[in-house]
Chain A
Amino acid sequence: MNSHIETLPLWAAILIAVLLVIGSTLTLLGNIGLLRFRTFYERLHAPTLGVSWGTAAIILASMLMFSLHLGRPVIHELIVGVFVMITAPVTLMLLGRAALRRDRARGLDLNVRRITPPDSKAVDGDEPGPTDEIR
């Protein structure tokens, strides 16, 4: 199909293919977790699979492919990797703190409402907070 792919040596093709498969599978698993987890604070953890090793594996594959294709070390994909690995914790922590603040602002209301009628669907497990109702 493409000439740059056909000229790759076999070991490089296998290595790049394995890295691409690992990265995309981890990203897909993170997105499945994003869709399937039940509370927001669980969902916050799921996409970090794609952010950490999904990005790292795909960037390693891209660096290896372009280095072998152009015949010189190509490392400018590291900019994306470093940028994503620095900014992803910042965004997720900001989002988590925003959700915590919003839940606390609503949690007072929930606690007051819980005292008056004993809630029918009780919170399962050992979590004392009303995280199950907040979703």
Chain B
Amino acid sequence: MSAIIMNIALTYAQICLIVAFGFATARMLKGPRAQDRVLGLDTLYINAMLLFLVIGVDNGNVFFFEAAIVIAIVGFVATVSLAKFLMRGEVIE
């Protein structure tokens, strides 16, 4: 019984997150201005991190968590540097 409930919830969560991937990618591809694309990329990183956590719950493997934290850190650095570039025109001044 608990396996059925968990499998339904895990499948639903993965489908939701993959559809969310599609929406964020659409915003990143069609965003009218540069900051829309950066916001879409940041949302894509968050979605990827959540999908890795859900896959980790699905597999019972602790190592997906480490991939999730790497994705979170890389996404933070990428978004901050892109926003800095949009603001000033250069990243390190």
A residues neighboring B (CB under 8 Å): 1-6, 8-10, 12-14, 16-18, 20-21, 23-25, 27-28, 30-32, 34-35, 40, 43-44, 47, 50-51, 54-55, 58-59, 61-62, 65-66, 69, 74, 76-77, 79-80, 83-84, 87-88, 90-92, 94-95, 97-99, 101-102, 134-135
Q: Chain A contacts of B40 at CB under 8 A?
A: 34
**CB contact under 8 A between A47 and B42, given known A1-B7, A23-B50, A98-B86:** yes
What is the bound-complex CA distance between A5 and B11, given in angstroms?
13
Looking at chain A's contact residues, the main secondary structure is helix
CB pairs A–B below 8 angstroms (11 shown) = A17-B5, A20-B9, A23-B50, A27-B16, A30-B20, A31-B23, A35-B27, A50-B46, A50-B47, A97-B83, A102-B86
B53 x A58 contact (CB < 8 A): yes
What is the bound-complex CA distance between A99 and B59, given in angstroms?
41
**CB contact under 8 A between A24 and B87, given known A4-B60, A31-B23:** no
Q: Chain B contacts of A65 at CB under 8 A?
A: 57, 60
What is the bound-complex CA distance between A23 and B40, given in angstroms?
19
Q: Mark B22-59, 1 if CB is under 8 A from A, else 0.
A: 01101100001111101110110011011001101111
What is the bound-complex CA distance between A2 and B24, given in angstroms?
31
B32 nearest CB neighbor, chain A only: A135
